[in-house]
Amino acid sequence: MNYELSEAHRGLQVEMRTFCREAIAPGAACFDEASPDEAATRMRSHMKTLAGRGFMNLLLGGDLLGTCVAGEELAQVCPSTYLAAVSSAIAVGRAVKLFGADAQLQRYLPLLAAGDAIGAFACTEAEAGSDMGGMATTAEKRNGRWILNGEKDLVTNAPLADLFLVLAWTDRNEGLERGTTLFLVDRSADGLSI
């Protein structure tokens, strides 16, 4: 098995290294010293910058090795930006891309790819941790709408997210595989508090 990078991936690595050092690294220290509002503003700026370079599209795409090569370069200069970008584009964006309805794909994918929207994946709960079977969040259909009840914890990007992918029980009797559903929740949704 050949473990060497292809010429295209080596080129991506060099381009991303240069780009990250010039465009992302100068603002990386901000996250250690800034107020939450300042950090959120800087992160939004970083996401737009990455989108302009095509990094968000790369994360949304299917080139796993390219994602890793480019992501490694970003993580070296700013782990916070790397984690935010991956959480938005992979944890939320790829889920929408793979499983979303056509209307959701048309609405959300361009926004995520352009850095105009930031996604957050909400599955962890304080009492259950990452034990999905122990989660308490539920979703109940009432009058043609889903009503979600519960609290999520440790949600990467929550302070600045525009879109949340929320895991909830829809039928506990069906077990995890069939009894849970992922819901897309806009930040402006009634009853959502962060």
Q: What is the pLDDT of residues 107-134, one digit of tens each?
A: 999 999 999 999 999 999 999 887 888 9
The alpha carbons of the chain give a radius of gyration, in whole angstroms, of 18
Does the predicted model carry a pTM greater than 0.75? yes
CATH class of the 119-186 domain in this structure: mainly beta
Tens of pLDDT along the chain (194 residues) come to 788 999 999 999 999 999 999 999 998 998 888 999 999 999 999 999 999 999 999 999 989 999 999 999 999 999 999 999 999 999 999 999 999 999 999 999 999 999 999 999 999 999 988 788 899 999 999 999 999 999 999 999 999 999 999 999 999 999 989 999 999 999 999 999 99
CATH number assigned to the domain with residue range 7-101, chosen from the 4 options 3.40.50.2300, 1.10.540.10, 2.40.50.140, 3.10.150.10: 1.10.540.10
Of 98, 169, 114, the closest CA to residue 140 belongs to 169
One-letter amino acid at 21 equals R
User: Residue 130: what pLDDT?
Assistant: 79
Residues of the chain with CATH 1.10.540.10: 7-101
Distance of CA 179 to the CA centre of its chain: 23
Distances (CA, A) of 166 to 95, 96, 101, 155, 158: 11, 12, 16, 10, 12
One-letter amino acid at 192 equals L
Tens of pLDDT, residue by residue over 78-98, are: 999 999 999 999 999 999 999
> Which tokens in the block code for residue 134?
């122990």
